[in-house]
Amino acid sequence: MCGIIGAIANRNVASILIAGLQRLEYRGYDSAGLAVIESGKIARLRRVGKVVELNKALTATPLPGHIGIAHTRWATHGAPTEANAHPHVSSDEIVVVHNGIIENYLELREQLQAQGYAFTSETDTEVVAHLIHSKLKGQNLAQAVKQAVLLLKGAYGLGVISRHEPEHIIAVRKGSPLIIGLGIEENFIASDHLALLPVTQEFIFLEEGDFVDLHADSINITDAQGNAVERESKTSQVSHTQTEKGEYRHYMLKEIYEQPSVLSNVLEGRISDDKVLLQSFGENAETLLQQVKRIQIVACGTSYHAGMVARYWLERYAELPCQVEIASEFRYRTNVVEDDTLFITLSQSGETADTLEALRKAKDSGYLTSLSICNVAESSLVRESDLCLITRAGPEVGV
Ligand code: GLU
């Protein structure tokens, strides 16, 4: 899953989109692209490789336009080629960027081919573009997207625009992170708020199933049940210079050197008289944690390795039996849960798809309670866990 950025403004947006993609580069990707709408026409540029290649192409052919969407792709379906790079277009009308995986794309692709849609890529995403187009008959873009997503199985963060409705962006979030950035007479979407720091520090963190109709001067959000909802906006404390490399050669090095200060930030205000203040984990933490008889830790990658170290400490100092498992295994197997087991997840971003799914599964499996250890207070993992410990590591860019 890689990066999405979208903008609607009273100025040209291509340079905002490129700057946003550059700020998402740290996540790794294989190709990049953007599309804008100008005078009722779609203009699209895509390149394999780095965003700098896309930027070169844009400098050679500037693309004016007050609305646009852009993407860095991490190929899951189809090779990293220009034809497979996003945005994908249907019928010279609908433009889509997508993070995630559409699991029933083959079935949908066959149905759409039978209806006469010609595919120009191997991606699962192109299915979404044609599916939305197929729902347009007599309906506007918002209605068509709403109907189309009902047929999608899998995970998606979507940004959709139409050349016939250049006054808004439709965005949907299910299983992939997506946020809204609020500007003055301009609004944005992105898969990560770091992408938007040069243009705004005001964000709405969308919830699972949220559907957004984004105009330059208004935002309408409906939740997974289709009810109109107001989502609170949050001001990010992170300035965009904080996310720069400074004197370091790369982010990994910068973040290694930050570790001592991060550790003291993590502990600050959370220990007293050599004891951990249990209330720093959330409401009821004290009562719940005192009942814990065993611990299950679930995470991915480096967080999983951190969990393996934690296991030694928990068994040695707390004398509690502890198991550690990779989330991508845990989520797909049958688990036997013993009484009074604490379920701990670890994730820097709090959006790691397998870890999130493992938590959702654990919530139906009889664990005593769930605790997430995470760096992003607004993340899905923190929101969906009973208890949390926020690591206060500042923006983490090294992957
Ligand atoms: N599944 C899509 C593709 O392969 C999106 C991948 C992504 O999230 O970057 O094109």
98 lines ligand 1 (CB under 6 A): yes
Closest atom of ligand 1 to CA, residue 73: 9
Q: Which pLDDT value is given to residue 274?
A: 84
Query: Which of 5, 46, 86 for a ligand 1 pocket mutation test, highest count of atoms within 8 Å of Cβ?
Result: 86
Q: Which pLDDT value is given to residue 397?
A: 78
Residue 329 has φ and ψ, to the nearest 5°, of: -85, -50
Query: What is the average pLDDT score of the chain?
Result: 94
- Is residue 398 pLDDT above 90, yes or no? no
Report how far residue 163's alpha carbon sits from residue 171's, in angstroms, rounded to the nearest whole number.
Answer: 16
Mention every residue, 6+ apart, whose C-beta is less than 8 A from residue 324.
297, 298, 299, 304, 307, 308, 310, 311
- Is residue 288 pLDDT above 70, yes or no? yes
Contacts 24+ apart (CB under 8 A), 41-46: 41/163, 42/89, 42/92, 42/93, 42/95, 42/163, 44/87, 44/89, 44/95, 46/82, 46/85, 46/86, 46/87
Count of CB atoms situated within 10 Å of the CB of 60: 8
Query: Which of 106, 119, 123, 174 for a ligand 1 pocket mutation test, highest count of atoms within 8 Å of Cβ?
Result: 123
83 lines ligand 1 (CB under 6 A): no
Q: Which pLDDT value is given to residue 246?
A: 81
Report how far residue 371's alpha carbon sits from residue 198's, in angstroms, rounded to the nearest whole number.
Answer: 33
pLDDT band per the 50, 70, 90 thresholds, residue 157 = very high
375 lines ligand 1 (CB under 6 A): no
**Tens of pLDDT, residues 355-394:** 999 999 999 999 999 999 999 888 889 999 999 999 998 8
Residue 373 Cα to ligand 1 midpoint, Å, equals: 28
Residue 33 Cα to ligand 1 midpoint, Å, equals: 12
Both tokens assigned to 158? 């979507």
- Structural contact between residues 3 and 29, judged by C-beta atoms closer than 8 angstroms: yes
Both tokens assigned to 246? 């400074």
**Tens of pLDDT, residues 22-78:** 988 877 899 999 999 999 999 999 999 999 999 999 999 999 999 999 999 999 999
Q: Which pLDDT value is given to residue 273?
A: 86
% of the chain residues with pLDDT over 70: 99
What is the average pLDDT across 10-28?
A: 93
Both tokens assigned to 73? 């792709």
Closest atom of ligand 1 to CA, residue 77: 4
Closest atom of ligand 1 to CA, residue 121: 10
SS3 3: strand
**Tens of pLDDT, residues 215-263:** 999 999 999 999 999 999 999 877 766 677 788 988 889 999 999 999 9
pLDDT band per the 50, 70, 90 thresholds, residue 396 = confident
SS3 300: coil
pLDDT band per the 50, 70, 90 thresholds, residue 18 = very high
- Structural contact between residues 43 and 65, judged by C-beta atoms closer than 8 angstroms: yes
What is the average pLDDT across 1-24?
A: 94
248 lines ligand 1 (CB under 6 A): no
In one-letter notation, the amino acid at residue 396 is E
**Tens of pLDDT, residues 77-108:** 999 999 999 999 999 999 999 999 999 999 99
